[in-house]
Amino acid sequence: MTNKIKPLTNFRNLLDVDQLNKSDINYIFEYADKLQSIAKGSIRKIPALRGKTILNYFAEPSTRTRVSFENAGKILSADVINMSSSGSSDEKGESLFNSVQTLESIGANLLVMRHFDAGAPYFVARNIGIPVINAGDGSHAHPTQNLIDLYTVHKKVGNIEGLNLTVLGDNVHSRVARSTIIGFSIMGARITICAPTTMDAQYLSDNSVERNQIYWPEIKYSDDLRYSLKNADLVMTLRTQFERKSNYVVPNINEYTRLFKLNEDSLKSCEKEIKILHPGPVNLGIEIDGYVSNSERSLINDQVQNSVAIRMALLLLLIGDYSLDQI
């Protein structure tokens, strides 16, 4: 194996998509394209990470992210250790700092981390000697989900530059929303947030001084679902985050559903062949109808299917020695 893969910008850890540029993201797509054929092939194993150990540390529930990271690591022949807060010494009051010191000492080569506190993976990355991938931190960021969603649109729709994306629903609690807005802006999409005013994340563009910076993309806001779907090429429907009850911002869920649910009726206002994304898990009947989520317009299954190849690419780029030609 030759050393080394082309370095990406600022890429020792993956904490959010704002550390990547357009060419970094396209480079990750190139890896994913190649890895997709392995992930979907009959042998489904390459020795790229043989001898490496990946630690999945999830302090919040997860199905897609945890399982797809586990699968990605195993296809690349890594040893994968799964750990959740429940049943760990977190429950005995061990500090995050002591926990991650312990995890590093055990001999992992990379930490995949989900945490309920925004910023926790940043703290860990500063205090640990191995790369950290943020698998979702509180309401802050979910960079790997965004790369999966960008890749899905890149494969199914084509060039992202110039597409109109409506980000619908619980923007205020959603880490997916933040990473979506940043990642799609980097790739040149135009963003509209559609939500009740109590759920829109105005702070994401609240920076008049540095508005030209990608971290503060220009965003339109609307509380009118039909209006915000009219010119949309894509809609990212967000999960309504009932678990963050202390900040629950909709007084009446029936009214919310009536005004903001994506269904056949609201989609009638679309003037384009809109594609529907949802990061999952879906609250069927709340933010989206079951019929619509399974329709031809939906890319939701594609998002899940692409998750393994993208996460394989990220693992390889962070701790692998394979170049693109060797895959």
Q: How far is the CB of 144 from ligand CP (least distance, A)?
A: 8
Is 266 an interacting residue with respect to ligand CP (CB under 6 A)? no
Tell me which H or E stretch contains 317. helix 300-319
Site mask, ligand CP, residues 280-319, x = CB under 6 A? xx--------------------------------------
Residue type, 128: I
HEC sequence for 42-78:
CCCCCHHHCCCEEEEEECCCCCHHHHHHHHHHHHCCC
What is the torsional sign of CA 314, 315, 319, 321?
A: negative
- Cβ contacts of 42 within 8 Å, gap of 6 or more: none
Q: Looking at 62, 71, 269, 305, which residue binds ligand CP (CB under 6 A)?
A: 62
Is 65 an interacting residue with respect to ligand CP (CB under 6 A)? yes
Q: How far is the CB of 62 from ligand CP (least distance, A)?
A: 3
Contact stretch for ligand CP (CB under 6 A) within 190-198, 230-238, 258-266, 276-284? 276-284
Contact stretch for ligand CP (CB under 6 A) within 61-69, 75-83, 150-158, 165-173? 61-69
Under a CB-based contact definition with an 8 Å cutoff, are residues 77 and 46 in contact?
yes
* Residues of this chain, 94-153, that bind ligand CP according to CB under 6 A: 136, 145
Under a CB-based contact definition with an 8 Å cutoff, are residues 172 and 199 in contact?
yes
Residue type, 156: K
- Cβ contacts of 99 within 8 Å, gap of 6 or more: 57, 88, 89, 90
**Nearest to ligand CP of 15, 327 (CB atom):** 15
Quote the CA–CA distance of 186 and 29 in Å, as a whole number.
14
Q: How far is the CB of 118 from ligand CP (least distance, A)?
A: 15
Is 192 an interacting residue with respect to ligand CP (CB under 6 A)? no
Q: How far is the CB of 152 from ligand CP (least distance, A)?
A: 12
**Nearest to ligand CP of 48, 277 (CB atom):** 277
Q: Which residues of the shown chain bind ligand CP in the complex (CB under 6 A)?
A: 62-65, 136, 145, 279-281
